């Protein structure tokens, strides 16, 4: 058999679904992780085999590893794409939300990677971790989300240095604004959590939260389509000698460059000036 397996987590909608469809075809059979039967029905097609997968459920991860281990085809790549977006000020975001963001956006990826590394070591395959520009630059209210993404970047660097001598490649992909359902859900979640702030917290952060939500919605609306973003992920999967990191979108490329050359204080001023444009305007009589 010349066909190889690729696992894509978080493939119900958005970027994950677009990546699964783009990779399916000559050379690759995609195991697309979805959480519900109706999502499985929607994505099932030639070359795309849905598997029920919640990356925070150990039984699901073990079943995925068994599915891969029982297949005669080599595992070429694991695309760790599943994720959630939860935003809120550090002071006001409930601790259960902090823990859940890290459970999904970091620990779930580690669990999947651990389970599938034996197969990747046998095939000399690769791990592709979908991070975010939030893994390089943390806006206000992005503490939990960016914290998990910064951690994913660090885990990716450590893993790359561990397994490169063993023939396994590790690639990080850092999208900017992409038009997906996750961003819309993130705004709705941020609004719901903001409504639970105390009056004092609302006074301190209410305007900031509304500004960030407006900025996030605008950036998503003007971002790349999931299909366009999937081209870069597919390149990271299929290129014989991939780079260690890829950005997706002009906004991500610009922010990465700024983060490299500007001081922390200068980046603070850039962030404040950007967010200020989205603050609610005072009512006029």
Confidence of residue 10 (pLDDT cuts 50, 70, 90): very high
- Cα–Cα distance list, 33 to 9, 100, 184, 280 (Å): 5, 19, 21, 40
SS3 173: strand
Per-residue pLDDT at 5 exceeds 80: yes
Closest CA to 82 of 108, 64, 59, 62: 108
Give the integer Cα–Cα distance in Å for 253 and 272: 20
What is the pTM assigned to this prediction? 0.92
Is 278 among the catalytic positions? no
Could you list the beta-strand ranges (E) of the chain.
Answer: 4-8, 28-34, 48-52, 75-80, 126-130, 169-175, 178-179, 224-225, 245-248
**Half-sphere CA count of 276, side-chain side, radius 13 A:** 6
What structural domains does the chain harbor?
A: 4-276 (3.40.50.720)
Please report, in angstroms and rounded to a whole number, the separation of the first and last CA atoms in the chain.
74
Confidence of residue 180 (pLDDT cuts 50, 70, 90): confident
What was the pLDDT predicted at 26? 80
Give the integer Cα–Cα distance in Å for 284 and 22: 51
Q: What is the mean predicted confidence (pLDDT) over 61-75?
A: 97
The encoded tokens of residue 5 equal 């397996």
Catalytic residue of the set 145, 205, 246, 278: 145
The encoded tokens of residue 32 equal 């697309």
| 27-52 pLDDT per residue, tens | 999 999 999 999 999 999 999 999 99
Percent share of the chain, pLDDT over 90: 84
């Amino acid at each position: 058999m010349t066909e190889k397996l690729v696992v894509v987590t978080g493939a119900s909608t958005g970027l994950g679904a677009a990546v699964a469809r783009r990779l399916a075809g000559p050379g690759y059979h995609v195991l697309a992780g979805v959480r519900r039967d109706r999502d499985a029905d929607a994505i099932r097609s030639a070359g795309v085999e849905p598997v029920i997968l919640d990356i925070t459920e150990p039984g699901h991860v073990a079943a995925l590893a068994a599915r891969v281990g029982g297949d005669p085809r080599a595992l070429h790549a694991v695309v760790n794409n599943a994720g959630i977006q939860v935003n809120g000020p550090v002071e006001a975001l409930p601790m259960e939300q902090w823990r859940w963001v890290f459970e999904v956006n970091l620990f779930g990826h580690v669990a999947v990677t651990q389970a599938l590394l034996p197969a990747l070591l046998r095939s000399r395959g690769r791990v592709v971790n979908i991070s975010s520009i939030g893994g390089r630059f943390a806006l206000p209210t992005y503490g939990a989300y960016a914290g998990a993404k910064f951690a994913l970047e660090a885990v990716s660097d450590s893993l790359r240095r561990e397994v490169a001598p063993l023939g396994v490649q590790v690639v990080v992909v850092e999208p900017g604004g992409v038009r997906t359902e996750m961003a819309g859900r993130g705004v709705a979640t941020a609004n719901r959590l903001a409504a639970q702030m105390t009056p004092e917290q609302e006074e301190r952060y209410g305007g900031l939260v509304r500004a960030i939500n407006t900025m996030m919605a605008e950036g998503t609306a003007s971002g790349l389509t999931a299909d366009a973003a999937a081209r870069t992920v597919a390149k990271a999967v299929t290129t014989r000698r991939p780079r260690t990191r890829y950005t997706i979108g002009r906004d991500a490329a610009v922010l990465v460059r700024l983060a490299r050359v500007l001081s922390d204080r200068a980046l603070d001023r850039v962030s404040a000036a950007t967010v200020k444009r989205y603050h609610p305007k005072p009512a006029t009589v």
